[in-house]
């Protein structure tokens, strides 16, 4: 059994949610989203070493919450970087080689224990595990023309897939991949691994595993939490 880590990226400032604090600290049914997400990993049978990457600006608020709520789940707090790439890279400094490491968005509290377990197992065998969902809506590309008008055109949705987290990797490979210089195309860990020459393995994600982004997502979250 390979040692298991999870890097929870909790760096975002969450301005799109329209709330007064970053969305990973908003309370859902009495608990911050980040706590719901951390507790997911606690429910796995095998122990997971948790690394929470967070900007300095909200660190004190989180610590205060843990103190007041007597939330004592063990985790290492690591300071976030200027992009998601730099944040994960900071987190990886605390991950051993020869292990498995999941990278998961703090604002995806509805990943399931089954999905996370399946992803660790797939990564142990194949080196990576990336959850995906088929695109169900029609899809259009969009870009502004030179005068700023929006140009859109239909694209074949079957040629695309939605990519979720947790993304799980052999830590040796991910740490090595993160030694490469930053590129703006690095929107997730899969893209970093791929740029380093590694093949990716995919597994089915879940439509419940939403990334809490907009006020409407927050309404969805209220329904999901009482499921």
> Any idea what the Cα angle at residue 168 is, between residues 46 and 223, rounded to 5°?
80
Q: Which of 217, 224, 209 is nearest to 167 (CA)?
A: 209
Looking only at residues 168 through 197 of this chain, which bind a copy of itself when binding is defined by CB under 8 A? 185, 187-188, 190-191, 194
Binding map of a copy of itself across residues 139-158, x = CB under 8 A, - = no contact: xxxxx------x-xxxxxx-
Nearer to a copy of itself, 65 or 132 (CB): 132
Q: Residue 132 CB: number of other CB atoms within 10 A?
A: 16
Nearer to a copy of itself, 74 or 143 (CB): 143
| Site for a copy of itself contains 206 (CB under 8 A) | yes
3-state secondary structure of 170: strand
Nearer to a copy of itself, 56 or 153 (CB): 153
| Backbone φ/ψ region at 127: left (φ over 0), alpha (ψ -120 to 50), beta | left
Contact assessment for residue 173 and residue 196, using Cβ atoms and an 8 Å cutoff: yes
Nearer to a copy of itself, 117 or 194 (CB): 194
What is d(CA 112, CA 105) in angstroms, rounded to the nearest whole number?
13
Residues near a copy of itself, by CB under 8 A? 132-133, 135-143, 150, 152-157, 159-164, 185, 187-188, 190-191, 194, 200, 202, 206-208, 210-211, 213-214, 216-217, 219-220, 223-224, 227
């Amino acid at each position: 059994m390979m040692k298991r880590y999870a890097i929870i990226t909790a760096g975002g400032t969450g301005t799109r949610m329209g709330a007064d604090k970053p969305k990973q600290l908003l309370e859902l049914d009495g608990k911050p989203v980040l706590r719901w997400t951390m507790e997911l990993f606690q429910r796995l049978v095998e122990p997971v070493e948790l690394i929470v990457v967070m900007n300095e600006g909200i660190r004190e608020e989180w610590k205060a919450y843990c103190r007041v709520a007597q939330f004592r789940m063990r985790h290492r707090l690591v300071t976030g970087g200027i992009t998601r790439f730099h944040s994960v890279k900071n987190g990886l400094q605390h991950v051993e080689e020869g292990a498995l490491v999941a990278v998961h968005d703090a604002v995806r509290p509805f990943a399931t224990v089954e999905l996370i377990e399946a992803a660790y197992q797939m990564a142990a065998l194949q080196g990576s595990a990336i959850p995906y969902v088929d695109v169900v809506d029609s899809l259009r590309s969009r870009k502004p023309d030179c005068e700023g008008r929006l140009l859109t055109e239909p694209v074949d949705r079957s040629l695309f897939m939605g990519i979720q987290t947790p993304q799980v990797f052999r830590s040796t490979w991910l740490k090595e991949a993160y030694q490469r210089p930053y590129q703006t195309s690095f929107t997730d860990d899969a893209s970093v691994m791929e740029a380093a020459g590694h093949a990716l393995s995919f597994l089915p994600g879940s439509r419940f595993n939403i990334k809490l982004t907009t006020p409407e997502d927050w309404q969805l979250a209220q329904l999901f939490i009482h499921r």
